[in-house]
Structure 1
């Protein structure tokens, strides 16, 4: 944990980390349906699932460098989860029309990987 950081500095750090996880989420969702053609067959390559794990893992570990309070360090993960839910429910919103995250197994895998990556450093023990 970083010593001597003020409340404003910690708040700014959590804000930047939350923004970084949200930017990562947008890229993870955009490329979630990536496919590769192999011998004329289109194969799904959801490489953003492990990326979600790693991005949130790094964000949570970095947050713990700024504060020892796990509830405060969970801000970037909470922002990622909130962003995920917004994108998941986007088509149900009055102004939304397109399905951003569909009913696919890779959508569930992205959620599990993101929460596991961000939650791992925050566990007690």
Structure 2
């Protein structure tokens, strides 16, 4: 890693450590365009693994940052929904302008999810 990259990462670590959790916005595009997202997620995993961001250019959103929590959310379709009517599963400008979750490549909630997954998981037809 070049010295400039080290300085950039150190600055990101300092900003992530100094930013109050109620102002944390891990989806800030600058974290990804500068490849400095890791310190922000490290702090959330450590201090606030299920984090609510009330203010962002995308609107409010939840960040779930620990594996077991992600599995719990992803497998409980009664309590958690990926329905676009409820906000969807992707941060984007306008969830309804991108079509259904299936068209976006997302995972729709049950009972729609299983048939969609089966249709994507099916082996290709034999040549001929």
Please indicate, yes or no, whether the TM-score normalized by the shorter chain is above 0.5. no
The bucket for the TM-score relative to the shorter chain is under 0.3
Higher normalized helix content (fraction of residues): 1
The TM-score normalised by the length of structure 2 is 0.24
Larger Rg: 2
Larger relative contact order (CA 8 Å, sep ≥ 6): 1
The TM-score normalised by the length of structure 1 is 0.24
